[in-house]
Chains A and B, each alone.
Chain A
Amino acid sequence: MSQMNEVITNEHMTLLELLDRLLNKGVMIWGDLVISVADIDLVYLRLQLLLAAVETLRGEPK
């Protein structure tokens, strides 16, 4: 199933998948200079909207 293999390669990892894990998860230790949670949430939200819009645009010609 070629579609499947394509999906599994890491090149296809979208930025959002990454941000989801790096900004949202792994909340393990608080450093001295962490970005405040409110800041992170805002950035994350903004990016989600932005990237969703980009994906929609990319999907449109199909």
Chain B
Amino acid sequence: MACYLYALCYKDTAPAPFSSWPRGVSPGGELSYVCFGPIAGLVQEVNLSEFGTEALAQNIQRIEWLEEKVRAHDEVVRHLFSEVDAVVPVRFCTIFRTEERVKELLRKQAEMILADFNRLRAAAEWGVKVYVNEKQSLQAAEHACEVSQEAGSGIQYLRRKQQQEKLARQVKEWIRGEVNDCHQSLVKLSREYRVNPCEGSKLDERMALNSVYLVDRTRKGEWLAELERFSGRWSGRSLRLEVSGPWPPYSFVTPAMERDEPDE
């Protein structure tokens, strides 16, 4: 048996009993807290035949297993997050040999954990992605400016080419301006934010913004209204918002600086 760590919270707010909780990554394994000082770590007993180093290396290659466990992990963290003010989520599949080892870590990292409780308290994470269909916006602009699509010759052709290039620049600029405007408006409503690289495109769309924002739970209404504003403004204009949240503050946890010597 080993000890699977989900998240940390203040000991005095830690909700119990666990009867109405999601079943977690190891249904049947008991949920409990391991405490050190004011910090409580939410843990579950897991079997090494499933979560031991070798088994784990095999299991995470299976997408069905991974999906099931990732969702189960998130459900537990989310449940805790719905009941308490300050939650520090721990990375998926963080497993300890004994409860003593968890305590030891809480002791070593206590300062950082308490600082994170403060930073993250009463706030939720929101993910915002903006996708843009550049081809479509350029076509729309050309249409609006009545750029002739007919094949001409000589001077006509050159003039049209120039006109198109100018429009393309303007469209690009407009997109950049809109995306930036959206991001800045969201930053104003959030406590912290992180800009992630824009990876991945979908069919004809290019990702133009990929950010996460830490927003006070009390500002949720304002936050959603702002998103609606941009969504409305962009409707039919080849810019598209994709929003996810509220999330427990997964993306805002301070990464551990050093690796605690594992005895493998």
Contacts and interface: CB of A to CB of B under 8 A. Distances in A.
Interface of A: 1, 3-4, 7-8, 10, 12-13, 15, 17-19, 21-23, 25-35, 39-40, 43, 47-48, 50, 52, 55-56, 59-60
Nearest to A47: B63
B254 A28 contact: yes
Given A29-B105, A33-B51, A22 B228 contact: no
Interface stretch (B53-61, B141-149, B161-169): B53-61
B96 A55 contact: no
Interface residues of B, number: 57
- Secondary structure class of chain B's binding surface, majority of residues: mixed
A24 to B, nearest CB: 8
B182 interface: no
B24 to A, nearest CB: 14
Contact of B203 (A13, A15, A59): A59
Contacts of A10: 244
A4 B231 contact: yes
B2 A33 contact: yes
**Which 6 residue pairs spanning A and B have beta carbons closest together?**
A21-B250, A22-B92, A31-B94, A33-B95, A27-B255, A26-B91
Interface in B249-264: 250-251, 253-256, 259-260, 262-264
A22 B250 CA distance: 7
Given A27-B255, A27-B256, A32 B243 contact: no
Contacts of B22: none
B69 to A, nearest CB: 9
Nearest to B109: A29
A39 B60 contact: yes
Contacts of A4: 227-228, 231, 241, 243
Contact of A30 (B51, B53, B73, B94): B94
A28 B255 contact: yes
A29 B63 contact: no
B228 A59 contact: no
A6 to B, nearest CB: 10
Interface string B77-94: 000000000001111111
B242 A7 contact: yes
Nearest to B60: A43
B200 A48 contact: yes
B241 A22 contact: no
A33 B91 contact: no
Q: Which of B67, B101, B202, B250 is most buried by chain A, counting CB atoms within 10 A of its CB?
A: B250
B200 A28 contact: no
